Amino acid sequence: MASPKKKTAATRHVALLRGVNVNGITIKSADLKALFVELGFGAVRTVLASGNVLFDTDESDAAELRARIEQALRKRFGYDAWIVLLTQKAVADMAAGYPFERIDEERHPYLVFGSDPAMLDEIMKAASTFDATVERLQRGKGVLYWQCPRGESTDTPVSKLLAKTRYKSSTTARNLRTVEKLLTD
């Protein structure tokens, strides 16, 4: 007689969608939440209108889970969907590790999440020649910590680097305040 499979406890995950509600790709939070519920996830909650979804699942294969979510997003919403998928605990650890001033009247704090460590390393190498007095970039575990001048988050050398098509499938950035909202659940 085969022993029954041991059911693992559900883990809280964060799906960070790239490029949602910008450049003509509009997804309502209610529709996004409905899709995640249809996929069988529990305690689904969207945070802000920028493609952040919290959900519970006992699925343990992160690559398979990411692929399933991306495929469902593409099918439902008809765009080239890419996500960075992390556990809520990993996001909390990344936020806690933010190395720069959290409150700075002249600069915005960002985290650049990545699903491919080689891409994060490549970004760091490319950014090593940028002026550190304009913006700061530091490598963390699975993340880049970025601080840029207020009002210039789309105009700096790092932001232009991050916007390259090459990084679209593996990176997405969030303001630290948004990240902290992902941790309150």
Nearest Cα to Cα of residue 149 among 110, 91, 98, 99:
110
For residue 3, is pLDDT > 50? no
Q: In this structure, how many other beta carbons lie within 10 angstroms of the beta carbon of residue 73?
A: 24
Lowest pLDDT segment from 51-60, 84-93, 98-107, 114-123: 98-107
Domains 11-89 and 91-181 agree in fold? yes
Choosing among 3.30.70.1260, 1.10.167.10, 3.40.50.2300, 3.30.70.980, the CATH entry for 91-181 is 3.30.70.1260
Mean pLDDT, rounded, for 52-75: 95
The fold of the 11-89 domain, in CATH, is Alpha-Beta Plaits (3.30.70)
Nearest Cα to Cα of residue 179 among 58, 80, 98:
98
Give residue 23's pLDDT band: very low, low, confident or very high (50, 70, 90): low
For residue 35, is pLDDT > 90? yes
For residue 2, is pLDDT > 60? no
Residue type at 46 in one-letter notation = T
Let me know if 146 is exposed, middle or buried by CB neighbors in 10 A (0-12, 13-18, 19+).
buried
Domain boundaries defined on the chain: 11-89, 91-181
Give residue 6's pLDDT band: very low, low, confident or very high (50, 70, 90): very low
